[in-house]
Amino acid sequence: MIEIDRFSATLAEGGALAMAARANRATVRLAPDPDASVPRPDAGRCAASPAEPATSARYDLEVSAVNLADKLAMFSEHWQPRTVAQFNGHDVMVVKLQGEFPWHKHDDTDDVFLVLSGRVTIQLRDRDVALGPGEMFVVPRGVEHRPVAAQEAHVLLIEPTGTPNSGDPATAAPRRVI
């Protein structure tokens, strides 16, 4: 059995999500996460080997794609990101935006915004960056910014696991895994 440290999956009640780990069909075994709301360094790690079948019947699955539209359809709240996958200590999240988010910054990490649908403006103190579907912007660490969406927009975010979306753990949305 070979551990794939470049890719990981996150378990949620009712199923498992996995990012494609191999071009060939690899069998994946996931260890159950007893509390998906509490980040753990080993949460949802996967192991795979095309030659050796997984032994955990409950969590055996073929590596599969994550359907972002299906994940976005699972919730309606704005500004409440949902983790849909993990890799290299980072969360891949989807979020619905509408209105203005408070000004904030992340002192220790960059902030990646990839617009899936709608229009988003990332306001910086010295300029605005307008984004449409398929466009991405990376806010450098330590730069104050405020995402704004006049109409509902769907966005993919990539951040180190545990990064508070507001820049402040006291006001951040809780980590939710779907």
The per-residue pLDDT for range 123-135, each reduced to its tens digit, is: 999 999 999 999 9
pLDDT (mean) for 9-30: 33
Q: For residues 157 and 27, give the distance between their C-alpha atoms in angstroms, rounded to a whole number.
A: 28
pLDDT on residue 165: 75
Q: What are phi and psi of 69, to 5 degrees?
A: -65, -40
Q: Which residue has the higher pLDDT, 164 or 102?
A: 102
Q: Which residue has the higher pLDDT, 174 or 74?
A: 74
pLDDT on residue 150: 97
DSSP 3-state assignment of 52? coil
Cβ atoms within 10 Å, residue 160: 13
Listing DSSP states for 23-44 in one string gives SS--EEEE---S-TTS--TTTT
pLDDT (mean) for 37-54: 41
pLDDT band at 63 (very low <50, low <70, confident <90, very high): low
pLDDT tens, residue by residue, 81-117: 999 999 999 999 999 999 999 999 989 899 999 999 9
Domain boundaries, the chain: 2-62, 68-177
Question: CB neighbours of 141 closer than 8 A, spacing ≥ 6?
Answer: 105, 106, 107, 108, 109, 110, 111
pLDDT (mean) for 154-171: 83
What is the 3-state secondary structure of 110-144? CEEEEEEECCEEEEECCCEEEECCCCEEEECCCCC
Q: In terms of CATH, what superfamily is 68-177?
A: Jelly Rolls (2.60.120.10)
Cα 163–chain centre separation: 11
Q: For residues 155 and 96, give the distance between their C-alpha atoms in angstroms, rounded to a whole number.
A: 6
